[in-house]
Chain A
Amino acid sequence: MADTLFHKVWNAHAVRTLPSGQTQLFVGLHLVHEVTSPQAFDMLRQHGWTVAFPDRTFATVDHIVPTSSQKRPFLDVMAEEMTVSLERNCREFGIPYWPPDHENQGIVHVIGPELGLTQPGMTIACGDSHTSTHGAFGAIAFGIGTSQVRDVLASQCLALDPLKVRRIDVTGSLKPGVYAKDVILTIIRKLGVQGGVGFAYEYGGSTIDRMSVEERMTICNMSIEGGARVGYVNPDDTTFAFLRGRRFAPQGSAFDRAVAWWRGMASDANARYDDRITLDAATIEPTVTWGINPGQSVSVNEQIDADPKDEAFAFMGFHPGDRVAGTKIDVAFIGSCTNSRLSDLEEAARIVRGHHVAPHVKALVVPGSRSISRDAEARGLDRIFIDAGFEWRGAGCSMCLAMNPDRLEGRQLCASSSNRNFKGRQGSPTGRTLLMSPAMVAAAAIAGEVVDVRDVIAD
């Protein structure tokens, strides 16, 4: 029977139906980081439990690592304590762990794919809502809370209710200066920040088919911002080419067997969906958020049209009818699990090259992983950014959520390639965030204000 990838993966991992009616689902890959796991390990110790599948569990530090110097001990005593705690837990429970100075370290959602841990047809869980990123490979990946981290550690399983599946087709060609980030911001704007509750989003159509895996990761990453806990793209030759040769990907003839299985997990052509929507790629503009949730966005030259009583206006300092273009920025941040991969940095560097950051702007680039740092440096991207006045930092989550020293101060306004513009998200309770593509952030850093990246590219 024709079926969706979501149902095929779900059925292949279903252990049994629990008395509650929920499904006990086997988790193929569990990624662990320092912020949401210490309490889970404590609960294991309290019960005398072990980790059921330590070889399917991998840990690193990303949220709290400083990006200016990763020298240990960290200056931040709590950051050091959390790191030491994770290190002790991984040793005690036999979990592979990459410390801050290890070549594999980086944001969990960046390193899983680049190491080939993330594979099609898997179920993946991590105590972080942006776990949906891994769906770009045709995995079903769930962000979970700490009690569920405990469950996965102890049993390698989750108790879950099945989701409905909404197919989102994006068709046609994106205009120059329009990126995957603009696509997902537009989808969230159209469907709303809670439109995806109860759904897995399956992204497809000719636009998505032509996208690189990195672009697909940007799209799947922000599924949760549209309320969908899970987002995915069916695996195809682009996916397989990305995975071939990666450290944890199957090797030799096993890779061919894997490709056959992965292909079989993709949604069938005549699969039925609970809902379908289609978006014409040609209608998507460079998009920026103006408000305090990721659904509050406009194209860069469009007037903001929203309920004047919306609290976002007072917080952000915009007025109904304003355009975001021309808004002076204080900080430019290129980074996060949404947009910190090599292709993001290359595109931003292309815009930055030969220019200089506006004098009043603090600009920083935080690669998603040490591997990306190395690749970028081998290509000389670090020099381009540094020469232009950007700070070139070490890998981590950094100013996406400001759990390390990188944060906004006061009411600073930040052009950011991250995923959330919530009040206070970037570390200052009154700090303000404008989400946009990394290319748009680069252009804003140079101009000192939000500009249409197409004007810069055309120059």
Chain B
Amino acid sequence: MTNPQSLRTPQSSIRNVSGRGLPIRGNDIDTDRIMPARFLKAVSFEGLEKHLFEDDRASDPTHPFNDARYSGAAILIVNKNFGCGSSREHAPQGLQRYGIRAIVGESFSEIFQGNSVMIGMPCFVADERSIARLQTAVESNPHVTLIADVKSGVISAGDVEIHASLPPGARDAFLSGQWNPTAMLLQHFDEVRAVAAHLPYVSDFRQ
């Protein structure tokens, strides 16, 4: 038996991302800061890009998202544990709707990283020194074009070149265009039914 649900989820492979950079310095930047909770009061993700880092921007006129030199950026450059805290997908959705198509950082929270993969936004990981070089390169020349290669993990910004990586599963999924797994999860639905049938709690332990 297969699931009657149709399997169309048009997706394209993501081989590289290029564009200007936007450095956000600091560790442990949580999703409440990226997208304050009051903007979750909506039934769609539309317009979230207007509220990115809204409170941080209000308290700090020099915040990179206030800096016209970075407007139109496509690649965010961050430090450790970016996106920690709440599982709200509103954070990566807001970033993507703003025009961010990839993030490079020292590390990410698992849920944020997973949410980003699901919407086709790779989160590259590189060491502290490499990230510092990239952030400095963009800060000193905001117009430099970054090129992030999904397969090799090489990220270049003018003369600066760093080596980053993606989790192998995510990397392959971006390359093959299967980064949104719904279609795969709906295939072989008979196997899902079989697993459910073997779990005694699914039938309330009756037998």
A64 interface residue (CB < 8 Å to B)? yes
Q: Which of A65-73, A377-385, A424-432, A435-443 contacts B (4 or more CB under 8 A)?
A: A424-432
Give every chain A residue within 8 A of B111 (Cβ-Cβ). Answer: 129, 143-145, 224, 229
Give every chain B residue within 8 A of A155 (Cβ-Cβ). Answer: 3, 5, 182, 185-186, 189, 192
Give every chain B residue within 8 A of A420 (Cβ-Cβ). Answer: 30, 32, 85-86
- Chain A interface helix/strand/loop/mixed: loop
B207 interface residue (CB < 8 Å to A)? yes
Q: How many residues of A contact B (CB 8 A)?
A: 82
Give every chain B residue within 8 A of A122 (Cβ-Cβ). Answer: 201
Contact yes or no, A19 B85, CB < 8 A: no
Closest to A428 in B: B55
Contact yes or no, B118 A422, CB < 8 A: no
B160 interface residue (CB < 8 Å to A)? no
B69 interface residue (CB < 8 Å to A)? no
B61 interface residue (CB < 8 Å to A)? no
Give which listed residue, B44, B109, B195, contacts A39 with CB less than 8 A. Answer: B44
Mark contacts of A153-186 with chain B using CB atoms, 8 A cut-off: 1 yes-contact digit, 0 otherwise.
0111111010000000000000000000000000
A429 to B51, CA, bound (A): 13
Q: Which of B14-22, B35-43, B130-138, B140-148 contacts A (4 or more CB under 8 A)?
A: B35-43
A24 interface residue (CB < 8 Å to B)? yes
A269 interface residue (CB < 8 Å to B)? no
Give which listed residue, B169, B170, B176, B199, contacts A28 with CB less than 8 A. Answer: B199
Give every chain B residue within 8 A of A229 (Cβ-Cβ). Answer: 110-111
Separation in Å of the B117 CB from the closest CB of chain A?
9
Give which listed residue, A145, A197, A257, A311, contacts B107 with CB less than 8 A. Answer: A197
Contact yes or no, A402 B169, CB < 8 A: no
Give every chain B residue within 8 A of A194 (Cβ-Cβ). Answer: 28, 80-81, 84, 107, 109
Could you list 20 examples of A-B contacts with CB < 8 Å?
A20-B170, A21-B172, A24-B192, A28-B199, A39-B45, A49-B5, A85-B43, A129-B87, A129-B111, A144-B87, A145-B92, A155-B3, A159-B185, A250-B205, A261-B200, A293-B84, A424-B32, A425-B37, A427-B37, A429-B36
Question: Can you name 20 extra interface pairs (CB under 8 A) apart from A13-B199, A39-B44?
Answer: A12-B195, A13-B195, A22-B181, A28-B201, A35-B40, A42-B44, A129-B87, A129-B111, A145-B111, A146-B90, A148-B118, A154-B182, A155-B192, A194-B107, A194-B109, A224-B85, A257-B207, A293-B28, A295-B28, A401-B86
Residues of A within 8 A of B (CB): 12-16, 18-22, 24, 26, 28, 35-36, 38-39, 42, 47-50, 52-53, 56, 63-64, 76, 78-79, 81-82, 85, 119, 121-122, 127-129, 143-148, 150-151, 154-159, 161, 193-194, 197-198, 224-225, 227, 229, 250, 254-255, 257-258, 261, 293, 295, 311, 401-403, 420, 422-425, 427, 429-430
Residues of B within 8 A of A (CB): 3, 5-6, 8-9, 26, 28, 30, 32-33, 36-38, 40-45, 55-56, 58-59, 80-81, 84-90, 92-93, 107, 109-111, 114-115, 118-119, 167-170, 172-173, 176, 178, 180-182, 184-186, 188-189, 191-192, 195-196, 198-202, 204-207
